[in-house]
Amino acid sequence: MIRYFLKQVEIEGFRGINNEDDPLIVKFKSDSINSIFAPNAQGKSSIYEAICYAISGNIPKLKDLLSSERAEEYYCNRFNSTGTAKILLTLTPDDGSNDITILVKRDKHGKKNVASPSGYNKPEELLENLNNELCFIDQKTFIKFVEDSPLERGRTFSSLLGLDILSQYRQALEMLSNTRSLNSDFSIEQLRSKINEIRTILDTSVQNIEILFNKITNTTVPIPFNIEVIINNTTSILKEINLLKQCFREKDVLSVNYNSIKKIVRDAENSNMHEQLLEVIKKITELSSLAPQKDDEQYQNDLNALVEIRDNAFKVTQGPLFKALYETLLNILQSEEWTYSKRCPACNSDLDYDFESEVGKQLKEYDEVASTTIKIIEFWNSNVWINRIKNLFQLRNLKFDNKQKAVFQNIENHFRSGDLSESDLKLFFILFEEIEAIRKKTLSTLEEKKGNIEKKLPPSLVNLTDKITYANQIKENINKYLELQPEINSLQNSLDKRLKWQKFVEYACNSFAEAEVKLSTQKTLDLEKKYQMIYSEITKNVDVVPKLKKSEGTQNLYLNLENFYGLKDVAATALLAESYKNALAISIYLSSVLDNILPSNFIILDDVTSSFDAGCQFNLMELLKTKIARPINPNGPQVIILSHDGLLQKYFDRISNETQWFHQTIQGLPPTGSIFTQAQDPCRLKSSVENLLNAGKIQQAVPYIRQYLEFKLLEIIRKVSIKVPLDFSIRDDKKMVKNCLDTITESIELEKKAGTLILEEPQTNILKNTLISSIIANWVSHYSTGIISSFSPYVLLGVLNDIDSIADCFKYDCHCLSNTQTVRRYYKTLSSKHCNC
Amino acid sequence: MDDFNFDPNLPPDENIKIFFEHLKTLDKKMARILENKVKKLIPLPDSGPRRNSIRLSVNSEILQLLEPEGRKGDGIEK
């Protein structure tokens, strides 16, 4: 995997950085720790946000704003006349290939445009690869991590472990395997219902075929059920009847012309009696096929049970009004406008639990009601018993009174809407009995009528008429069977495929989720030693040992303490001070950085030590320098630290001469004017002052002259190892110009009296008689009293030279450091040199 | 079915790859469809309605792949 260092960022017109036509250029070194200092409101966080926006496409601070606060208007600098923000990143790949530049622009309408001036093929894809939670770490990240719910913390942690993409895949698989969604998206219930509906009709046809086959052939249908055999056997029997032989020549029961058969029979009988008989037999067959079946009682019990389950499930809920309320709340909570997870949108109350989960739980109680209601509706649409009742009710030869019709209509409506009640059912069962009584009575009347007709006809003709009627009816049922069989096969095939998919994605989702939990648990354990070591290095407190605890089978993550001054397994969030909680959070983040190999080989820390005490701050910096960051850890990240902390600035200044540390400051006039960086080298402050004085900006230059003087005096004390009073060494407020000068002059006097002073006579003289007195007289005293307005830039440039001359009094010519030139080198002490030069 | 486990020494992308390879041993066609379509949901949108709409569209594509011949005339094909 190619990993990338951040080499440079150029920013114009973004957030607090105006820099119109003069972009702010910040350089970073891949083999150094990079620190950037700026006082508050100097554009430091704008640098952080610019890199964050370029890579991730958003700024968390703005993303969290309400839509009414119009966050989109605050990305571009409001004072830049173009209204367009430009961020140019320069990335250095670790495989030695050429640097890549990516230009991210955002116009005033919020449109983001990504291009690569260096010609990289897929700049957007590269930015996407670089985007991860370990790149950008600020104070808010820690506070959120500490204060989040165990579930949210667990999710963040999962992302820190590099498991974020796995978590996304798991959620995506959950979406695709969700039973309710699949039922709806794949029309599974609809398909099932359609199959049941057709199967009911098909079953009735088969049943009719069996009865009619028996009546025509006096035998039962051969097993297995084979429609070809049924057609052949029926045709054979009918063909044997002399009168019909001619009609069945090369025809079967399906293709024979029944009108010509009827004509033949009519001619033979010479009356229309047989037609009346045909009609009566047809009605009898119809009514007989709708007789009660042995499963009817079971169906009635099933229906009773369904209504009871639905009613019981409904009692647990708070009714339809609350359902509507919960659905509306869920819509709001899932909308982009609502960004609070622990606030009720109805009353704006802050809650101590995730509100969306709670609303989801309440809505789930309605699921049982919904699913049973669907089953009741399906029961009406596809149950064999119900269908038979419906068919009976539609028969013209059955006579129902208006009350029965009204009851049927009412119950049908309740069935269709799923509102069927227990009292509806009682009425329905009574109606069913009444219908059955009418059916029986009608059937009996028809049988009587049939008997009367048959008495008037010769028995052979009666038998023939029966057979012809049955043949015609078996033909209709066989045709229906042949028409529906392929249809139901096709539907069943389709349903099987969808159900197979459902089972497959459910398995995929479950096995993925289980594997993710196992991996996450293992990684948490692997990380333990690392974050415990980092925490111990930052706090230097061996009596407090943190330990992350993961709930088995869930994503919940708890911040615990394995040891707290002898107490075991206690809650870190309840016991640790703010500074220590943040130390714990940064320990976890840094250990994750060390544990992950990501395309972005850099981390940007924005004011992460704000809540740390001075000790923890320095411990953290030392830890970064000696164990975590490049170059000491060649596999570690390129660290970029942004800070406004005055104490850290002194630390940065002191350490910046070391090759492994690259320090810069931000200066300028944000958000209206320009800001710029000044690389921190021994001449940084001096060149800043010279630039300001050359531009006539005396007021701006004066504080820097004071800072430069302080810097150089402290440098002399440090480099020449001048002994200082105890309070000077431990109290930062004592490290002022006057104290520095006093310490230096007193030390010189002491060495001189001891006869051990190494400084040359001219150096001592010029220092004592000219430079120090000149500095005090011309600068320090005036600066202290605030009378500086009378100084010209030339005088102040002279002060700068005097400051350098003071430092030069503590140096000697060294010839051994370089073969080609003489180097001015600080004495080792006031009584010795580093070499014999 | 066998338990599937991720390899802690592999990056997440590789683990996802071997997960789908594992699924392919169970049903090659379905595993391929799932692998291709689940990618369309990543990165997951934050908003619930947006997620629903993407899921609906992806499920419709899946159904098309499961039943390329389609089911005409019964009024329930998606």
Eight-class DSSP state of A405: H
Inspect the interface and report whether the beta carbons of A511 and B1 lie closer than 8 Å.
yes
Residues 493-532 of A with CB under 8 A from B: 494, 497-498, 500-501, 504-505, 507-508, 511-512, 514-516, 518-519, 522-523, 526
In whole angstroms, what is the distance from residue A410 CA to residue A329 CA? 35
pLDDT of residue A495: 94
pLDDT tens digits for range A221-278:
988 999 999 999 999 998 888 888 888 888 899 998 888 888 887 777 767 777 788 8
**Set of chain A residues whose Cβ sits within 8 Å of the Cβ of B78:** 185-187
HEC string of A743-806 equals: HHHHHHHHHHHHCCCCCCHHHHHHHHHHHHHHHHHHHHHHHHHCCCCCCCHHHHHHHHHHHHHH
- Give domain status of residue B44, yes or no: yes
Q: Which residues have CB under 8 Å from A785's CB, separation 6+?
A: none
Q: Which of B3, B8, B44 sits opposite A168 (nearest CB)?
A: B44
3-state helix, strand, coil in chain A (%, to 5): 60, 10, 30
Task: For residue A390, give how far its alpha carbon lies from the nearest alpha carbon of chain B (Å).
Answer: 22
User: Amino acid identity of A742?
Assistant: D
Tokens of A510: 């479950």
Give the range with max mean pLDDT: A3-17, A334-348, A705-719.
A3-17
- Omega cis (within 30) before A631: yes
Inspect the interface and report whether the beta carbons of B63 and A185 lie closer than 8 Å.
yes
Tokens of A175: 């979406």
Tokens of A30: 């891949």
Task: For residue A187, give how far its alpha carbon lies from the nearest alpha carbon of chain B (Å).
Answer: 7
DSSP H or E stretch at residue A438? helix A422-456
Inspect the interface and report whether the beta carbons of A519 and B6 lie closer than 8 Å.
yes
Distances (CA, A) of B55 to A232, B32, B45: 53, 17, 11
Inspect the interface and report whether the beta carbons of A512 and B56 lie closer than 8 Å.
no
pLDDT tens digits for range A417-467:
888 888 999 999 999 999 999 999 999 999 999 888 888 777 777 788 888
Mutation choice for B interface testing from A511, A514, A524 by most B CBs within 10 A: A511
Task: For residue B54, give how far its alpha carbon lies from the nearest alpha carbon of chain A (Å).
Answer: 10
**Set of chain B residues whose Cβ sits within 8 Å of the Cβ of A516:** 6
Task: For residue A44, give how far its alpha carbon lies from the nearest alpha carbon of chain B (Å).
Answer: 29
pLDDT at B73 over 60: no
**Set of chain A residues whose Cβ sits within 8 Å of the Cβ of B50:** 336
The answer to whether B21 and B39 are in contact (CB under 8 A) is no
DSSP H or E stretch at residue A549? strand A544-550
pLDDT tens digits for range A591-615:
988 888 788 899 999 988 888 888 8
User: A681, A686, A746, A715: which is closest to A811 by C-alpha?
Assistant: A715
User: Cβ of A260: how many Cβ atoms within 10 Å?
Assistant: 13
- Give domain status of residue B75, yes or no: no
- Give domain status of residue B3, yes or no: no
The answer to whether A474 and A256 are in contact (CB under 8 A) is no
Q: Which of A334, A497, A507 sits opposite B47 (nearest CB)?
A: A334
A789 versus A128: the higher-pLDDT residue is: A128
Q: Which of B3, B44, B47 sits opposite A335 (nearest CB)?
A: B47
Tokens of B59: 């499920």
In whole angstroms, what is the distance from residue A606 CA to residue A584 CA? 17
DSSP H or E stretch at residue A587? helix A578-595
> Strand A567-571 and strand A100-106: pairing?
unpaired
If one counts the domains in chain B, the total is: 1
Inspect the interface and report whether the beta carbons of B44 and A171 lie closer than 8 Å.
yes
The answer to whether A337 and A67 are in contact (CB under 8 A) is yes
**Distance between alpha carbon A253 and the CA centroid of its chain, in Å?**
66
Per-residue confidence at A655, pLDDT binned at 50, 70, 90? confident
In whole angstroms, what is the distance from residue A491 CA to residue A767 CA? 103
Distances (CA, A) of A207 to A104, A224, A465: 74, 14, 22
> Strand A675-679 and strand A661-668: pairing?
antiparallel
Enter the ipTM. 0.94
Mutation choice for B interface testing from A129, A176, A483, A503 by most B CBs within 10 A: A176
Mutation choice for B interface testing from A192, A198, A493, A519 by most B CBs within 10 A: A519
The answer to whether A415 and A246 are in contact (CB under 8 A) is no
Inspect the interface and report whether the beta carbons of A504 and B56 lie closer than 8 Å.
no
Percentage of the residues of chain A whose pLDDT score is greater than 90 = 35
Q: Which residues have CB under 8 Å from B6's CB, separation 6+?
A: A166, A515, A516, A518, A519, B15, B18, B19
Q: What are phi and psi of A534, to 5 degrees?
A: -65, -45
Inspect the interface and report whether the beta carbons of B6 and A516 lie closer than 8 Å.
yes
Tokens of A798: 């002279």
In whole angstroms, what is the distance from residue A502 CA to residue A191 CA? 14
Inspect the interface and report whether the beta carbons of A518 and B47 lie closer than 8 Å.
no
pLDDT at A732 over 90: no
> CATH topology for A4-135+598-679?
Rossmann fold (3.40.50)
- Residue A224 burial (C-beta neighbours within 10 Å; 0-12, 13-18, 19+): exposed
DSSP secondary structure, A84-98, as one string: -EEEEEEEEETTS--
Q: Average of pLDDT values for A346-353?
A: 82
Give the range with max mean pLDDT: A36-40, A102-106, A367-371, A605-609.
A102-106
- Give domain status of residue B5, yes or no: no
pLDDT at B78 over 80: no
Q: Which of B15, B22, B56 sits opposite A185 (nearest CB)?
A: B56
DSSP secondary structure, chain B, as one string: -------TTS-HHHHHHHHHHHHHHH-HHHHHHHHHHHGGG-SPPSSHHHHHHHHHHHHHHHHHHH-TT---SSS---
> Strand A136-138 and strand A602-606: pairing?
parallel
Q: Which residues have CB under 8 Å from A234's CB, separation 6+?
A: A213, A216, A217, A253, A471, A474
Residue of chain A whose alpha carbon sits nearest to that of B30? A501
User: Cβ of A56: how many Cβ atoms within 10 Å?
Assistant: 18
Domain range for B20: 12-66
User: Amino acid identity of A620?
Assistant: L
In whole angstroms, what is the distance from residue A807 CA to residue A827 CA? 11
A328 versus A151: the higher-pLDDT residue is: A328
**Set of chain A residues whose Cβ sits within 8 Å of the Cβ of B3:** 511, 514
**Set of chain A residues whose Cβ sits within 8 Å of the Cβ of B37:** 176
- Give domain status of residue B7, yes or no: no
**Distance between alpha carbon A292 and the CA centroid of its chain, in Å?**
57
A771 touches chain B (CB under 8 A): no
Residue of chain A whose alpha carbon sits nearest to that of B26? A504
- Give domain status of residue B6, yes or no: no
Per-residue confidence at A645, pLDDT binned at 50, 70, 90? confident
pTM of the shown model: 0.56
Tokens of A73: 């208007």
How far the first Cα of chain A sits from its last, in Å, is 52
pLDDT tens digits for range A169-226:
998 998 999 888 888 899 888 888 889 888 888 988 998 899 999 989 989 998 899 9
pLDDT at A402 over 60: yes
Tokens of A133: 């939670």
Task: For residue B19, give how far its alpha carbon lies from the nearest alpha carbon of chain A (Å).
Answer: 8
Q: Which of A54-58, A284-288, A492-496, A650-654 has the lowest mean pLDDT?
A: A650-654
Q: Which residues have CB under 8 Å from A258's CB, separation 6+?
A: A468, A471, A472, A475
**Set of chain B residues whose Cβ sits within 8 Å of the Cβ of A331:** 48-49
DSSP H or E stretch at residue A557? strand A557-564
pLDDT tens digits for range A670-717:
787 667 776 534 455 677 788 788 877 777 777 778 878 888 888 899
For A5, the 3-state DSSP assignment is strand
DSSP secondary structure, A30-94, as one string: TTSEEEEE--TTSSHHHHHHHHHHHHHSS-HHHHTS-GGG-GGGGSB-TT-TT--EEEEEEEEET
Mean pLDDT (chain A) is 86
Task: For residue B76, give how far its alpha carbon lies from the nearest alpha carbon of chain A (Å).
Answer: 7
Enumerate the H helices of A178-254 as residue ranges.
Answer: 179-185, 188-217, 227-239, 242-245
Q: Which residues have CB under 8 Å from A697's CB, separation 6+?
A: none
Eight-class DSSP state of A126: H
How far the first Cα of chain B sits from its last, in Å, is 31
pLDDT tens digits for range A757-803:
999 988 988 888 777 777 776 666 666 555 555 677 888 888 888 88
A337 touches chain B (CB under 8 A): no
Mean pLDDT (chain B) is 84
What is the number of CB-based contacts under 8 A between chain A and chain B? 117
